[in-house]
Amino acid sequence: MAINLVRFEAGNGPRWGVMTGAEIAPLSDDYPTTAALIEQGEADWRAACSRGARIAIASVKILAPITTPCRLYCQGANYRQHMVESGMDPDAKLFNMFFTKADASICSSGERVTRPAHVKLLDYEIELALVFRRPISSAVTVTRETLPDYVFAITIANDLSARDVQLPQTQFFKGKSYRGFCPIGPWLTVLERDEFPRIDNLALELDVNGTPRQRDTTANLVFKPAETISELSTFANIVPGDVLLTGTPNGCALRVPPPPVRRLLQVLPERVLWKLFLNGQARRPQYLKPGDRITARIRSRDGAVDLGEHATEIVGS
């Protein structure tokens, strides 16, 4: 059965525990990093539920379950309908779009995120995140059967993105890496080996102020985790505790103009093009504003795998 590992603060420094309903069963030992938990903590967290100690989750502060330093690898345009929405053909896609976020962007689910003063087009992106189990220092071929050897846990991430930086400046790294731009958690869901096929059929839901914005399932991923990790391993080194964000469904605030309009825009001077584009985007009410509250969930249809409720409140700088 899937186990949910939570990192929390109860007044005596960060601790790890196992979620059991509305309570936490704390681990016996301290693990300063996510990597230490992965490499040294399995016997501890498997035994935690049989111990009597419990802490009410309402009495603690939930921390990000990913510690830094770490690497955040990301996939772009990896859901079929999101690709269609972006003017691309998912059946013609031959390779992944990879980019990275700075680990300074990591914060906990439930933490307030500040929208920088110069950012007006702040977008949300719910993503299934994979947490790596083992080092990778050369090209490997990962299969569905061997995926559990490489993935320790799954969790929810929100790839917050400043579109008015990312696109006109062609700065994916900068536009997606401001502090707090990767809320992650609330916990790590560790699957048993026979539960890994469930990764291919998880439901993703994101709401803003209670209004549905994103709905999809991981069945619609263009590149599945095994083939993605295989491709990533050809050019990137990975250590335990690094993270892969697997892409976001359609329904983001960003709207790419239809192909005929894009062809027309290509003949305009760049300054004019971006002014028109940004003015058009600024009229879209879906972009995040101070006071907006984002909630997200990822779970299996039968409820056997539940990554919890991920909440983020946007505040002004």
* Per-residue pLDDT reduced to its tens digit, 184-200: 999 999 999 999 999 99
User: What top-level class would CATH report for the domain 72-316?
Assistant: alpha beta
Distance CA 129, CA 73 (A): 10
Distance CA 198, CA 252 (A): 25
Residue 85 CB contacts under 8 Å (≥ 6 apart), including other chains: 250, 255, 256
* Per-residue pLDDT reduced to its tens digit, 118-130: 999 999 999 999 9
- Token look-up 């083992």 returns 134
| Nearest to 115, CA basis, from 47, 71, 163, 66 | 163
CATH 3.90.850.10 domain locations along the chain = 72-316
| Nearest to 216, CA basis, from 301, 101, 281 | 301
The answer to whether 73 touches 243, Cβ cutoff 8 Å, is yes
* Per-residue pLDDT reduced to its tens digit, 34-88: 999 999 999 999 999 888 779 999 999 999 999 999 999 999 999 988 888 777 7
* Per-residue pLDDT reduced to its tens digit, 256-310: 766 666 666 666 677 777 888 889 899 999 999 999 999 999 999 888 999 999 9
